[in-house]
């Protein structure tokens, strides 16, 4: 009996959640009529069909590869995807797995459906985007919200004169408007955005979306008109269509692109003005004066593929709030939340060279313990035995193939000698002779040399660890070192203490054992290490405890 998987989806909040139940009911009716059995149900709620990064959709793909069902049932093709590339890829993947796609609307899906319906869905999305933009533009020209809201305003919903709900009208929020005026006044008085954010967080002032304040919340991006200090709506000027969004086909995420100024739509809404023109102009001049010029000779960095800048970038966490630890001053590490928001009491600071030296020394001490040395030796011996056994098996198989090929050649030669020569036999003989030559050369290859371990594995291991630390700090090997360390260390925690600061290193030592003994063909060990290091200001570091 055929096992059927059901997929259902609805796109936006404008659709009812009951839409899923409606789709499931129709699909189950089809399964019952066909005499199939329901195996799995996959549902994505409130997710666009233009993206393939949907949890249930990805789960459907995974379960298909694992053979959990025999066919896929949906209400229509556009429930599976509205993107031509994705629906074609889905159909190709299901065909490869031998899993038919059946829908209530189209029946059994074939290449013709994929081509026609995929094109129609793509056109539908494009037409929908154009109509949505047209509708938003009409709302902007009426002084209404085009979606979302800005800090300082409330969006109200009220019934219009004809009965339908009138959406998108904004009014000033008095309390938030006063906070905005205070921010502008503080900035004009010379305070930095970070200092202003710290004060707001200290005074428990709710930020946008009821989150804490940061410097970027205030300063934003001048070109895009974002941030409290750059929002022209506070001046009574509504600007729309500054930017457009395009979807990265690789990640499925939207990316913003600035539109030329001639495409911007500006609408005066003086009833929403919170600031006077004099304050606005003074703030913009102050920003222009304080803003550091961008280096024109600096190449643009690919953020997605950017490598870590330092050995332990991204691994260090704050012991106080659990947030990230970054470079907060020159070459000193510290809690980012403590610096940017002032919401964390962890004021620990540690210089980059001291942190790296402390951690590398700790790792070296851990790796040179008698327990890990013995683990290395045992792993090398076991892997050598395994490789020797596998090599012997390979040698035996190769010897058997050589003997079989020689027997085949002898049989053909005997047949030709008895007068049964033919073109086919001659061709076959030439082929077998070439195969025999290759096998003989393979058997004599120097790569099949005997596996020999160093005479003193303990001394060899210590030398490898010493060399490893040197390689980790070598400028030319820094990026390889980062890769090694990220397989070794899970997390580094920085915590403030009365006499200085403390580092706690958590991670698995197994991967580095595997990497260092890989030349000896040793398997990965499964050891976990948690090491605490006490750093005393001005006195280097002092190992407090080492535990395996």
Return the half-sphere exposure (C-beta side, CA atoms, 13 A cut-off) of residue 299: 4
On the question of pLDDT at 69 being above 90, the answer is yes
Residue 111 in contact with residue 79, Cβ under 8 Å? no
> What is the SS3 assignment for 474?
coil
Pick from 309, 217, 292, 220: which is nearest to 256 by CA?
220
Distance CA 137, CA 241 (A): 9
Distances (CA, A) of 537 to 197, 312, 534, 540, 542: 29, 20, 10, 7, 11
- pLDDT at residue 536 greater than cutoff 60: no
pLDDT in tens, 380-391: 777 777 777 777
Highest mean pLDDT of the ranges 17-31, 158-172, 244-258:
17-31
In 3D space, the residue among 213, 194, 338 whose CA is nearest the CA of residue 326 turns out to be 338
Sign of CA dihedral 398, 402, 405, 411: negative
Taking 60 as the threshold, does the pLDDT of residue 522 lie above it?
no
Question: Which of the residue ranges 313-317, 423-427, 516-520 would you say has the lowest mean pLDDT?
Answer: 516-520
- C-beta atoms surrounding 527 within 10 Å: 16
Cα distance between residue 277 and residue 374, in whole Å = 75
Strands (E), 200-264: 237-240, 243-247, 254-258
User: What is the pTM assigned to this prediction?
Assistant: 0.46
For residue range 195-209, list pLDDT tens digits in order: 899 889 888 898 887
Count of H helices and E strands in the chain?
16, 19
Separation CA 2–CA 161 (nearest Å): 57
How wide is the angle at C-alpha 173 spanned by C-alphas 171 and 174, nearest 5°?
Answer: 125
How many whole angstroms separate alpha carbon 325 and alpha carbon 83?
A: 40
For position 211, what pLDDT does the model report? 78
Q: What is the pLDDT of residues 15-65, one digit of tens each?
A: 455 688 888 999 999 999 999 999 999 998 878 766 777 889 989 988 998
Q: Where does 292-422 have alpha helices with state H?
A: 336-340, 352-367, 370-417
Strands (E), 16-67: 37-45
Q: Under DSSP, is residue 22 helix (H, G, I), strand (E, B) or coil?
A: helix
Could you give the CA distance from residue 113 to residue 520 in angstroms, rounded to a whole number? 56
- Maximum Cα interatomic distance, the chain, rounded to a whole number of Å: 112
Can you tell me the mean pLDDT for 104-131? 76
For the chain, how many residues are written? 548
C-beta neighbour count of 23 within 10 angstroms: 22
Name the residue among 277, 271, 353 with its Cα closest to residue 312.
Answer: 353
Q: Which residue has the higher pLDDT, 247 or 190?
A: 190
C-alpha 501/C-alpha 541 separation (Å) is 10
Contact 535, 501 (CB under 8 A): yes
pLDDT at 467: 67
Give the residue among 89, 343, 75 at the shortest CA–CA distance from 207. 343
* Cβ-based neighbour number of residue 513 at 10 Å: 23
Strands 316-318 and 489-497: what pairing?
Answer: parallel
Q: Give residue for tokens 């995974």.
A: 62
Helices 84-97 and 111-141: crossing angle, nearest 10°? 150
Give residue-wise pLDDT tens across range 265-302. Answer: 778 888 888 999 999 999 988 888 887 654 444 444 44
What CA–CA distances, in Å, run from 48 to 11, 125, 456? 5, 10, 63
State the pLDDT confidence band at 180, using cuts at 50, 70 and 90.
very high
Question: What's the rounded Cα separation, in Å, for the pair 409 and 415?
Answer: 10
* Residue 73 banded pLDDT, cuts 50, 70, 90: very high
Phi then psi dihedrals of residue 41, to 5 deg:
-130, 130
């Amino acid at each position: 009996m055929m096992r059927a998987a059901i997929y259902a989806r609805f796109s936006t909040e404008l659709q009812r959640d009951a839409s899923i139940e409606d789709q499931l009911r129709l699909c189950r009716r089809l399964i019952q009529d066909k005499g199939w059995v329901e195996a799995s149900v996959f549902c994505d709620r409130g997710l666009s069909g233009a993206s393939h990064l949907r949890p249930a959709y990805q789960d459907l793909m995974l379960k298909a590869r694992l053979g959990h069902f025999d066919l896929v049932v949906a209400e229509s093709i556009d429930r599976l995807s509205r993107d031509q590339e994705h629906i074609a890829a889905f159909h190709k993947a299901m065909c490869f797995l031998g899993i038919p796609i059946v829908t209530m609307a189209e029946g059994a899906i074939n290449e013709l459906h994929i081509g026609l319906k995929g094109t129609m869905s793509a056109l539908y999305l494009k037409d929908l985007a154009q109509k949505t933009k047209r509708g938003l533009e009409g709302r902007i020209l009426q002084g209404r919200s085009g979606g979302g809201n800005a800090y300082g305003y409330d969006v109200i919903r009220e019934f219009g004169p004809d009965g339908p709900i009138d959406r998108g009208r904004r009014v000033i929020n008095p309390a938030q408007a006063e906070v905005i005026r205070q921010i502008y006044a503080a900035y004009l008085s010379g305070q930095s955005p970070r200092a202003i954010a710290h004060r707001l967080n200290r005074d428990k002032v709710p930020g946008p979306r009821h989150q804490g304040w940061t410097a970027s919340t205030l300063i934003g991006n001048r070109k895009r008109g974002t941030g409290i200090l750059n929002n022209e709506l506070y001046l009574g000027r509504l600007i729309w269509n500054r930017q457009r969004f395009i979807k990265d086909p690789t990640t499925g995420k939207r990316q913003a692109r600035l539109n030329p100024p001639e495409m911007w739509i500006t609408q005066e809404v003086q009833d929403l003005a919170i600031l006077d023109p004099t304050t606005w102009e003074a703030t913009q001049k102050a920003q222009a004066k304080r803003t550091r010029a961008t280096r024109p000779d600096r190449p643009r960095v690919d953020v997605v593929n950017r490598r870590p800048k330092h050995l332990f970038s991204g691994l260090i966490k704050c012991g106080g709030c659990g947030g990230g630890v970054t470079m907060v001053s020159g070459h000193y590490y510290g809690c980012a939340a403590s610096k940017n928001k002032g919401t964390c009491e962890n004021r620990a600071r540690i210089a980059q060279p001291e942190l790296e030296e402390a951690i590398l020394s700790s790792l070296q001490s851990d790796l040179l313990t008698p327990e890990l040395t013995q683990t290395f030796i045992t792993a090398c011996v076991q892997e050598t035995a395994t490789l020797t056994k596998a090599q012997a098996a390979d040698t035996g198989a190769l010897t058997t193939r050589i003997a079989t090929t020689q027997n085949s050649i002898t049989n053909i030669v005997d047949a030709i000698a008895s007068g049964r020569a033919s073109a086919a036999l001659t061709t076959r003989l030439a082929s077998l002779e070439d195969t025999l030559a290759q096998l003989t050369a393979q058997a004599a290859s120097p790569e099949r040399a005997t596996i020999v371990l160093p005479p003193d594995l303990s001394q060899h291991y210590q030398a490898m660890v010493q060399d490893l630390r040197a390689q980790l700090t070598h400028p030319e090997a820094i990026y390889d070192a980062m890769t090694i360390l990220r397989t070794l260390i899970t997390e580094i925690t920085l915590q403030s203490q009365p006499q200085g600061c403390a580092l706690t290193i958590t991670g698995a030592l197994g991967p580095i054992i595997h990497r260092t003994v890989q030349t000896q063909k040793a398997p990965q060990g499964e050891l976990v290490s948690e090491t605490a290091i006490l750093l005393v200001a001005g006195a280097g570091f002092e190992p407090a405890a080492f535990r395996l």
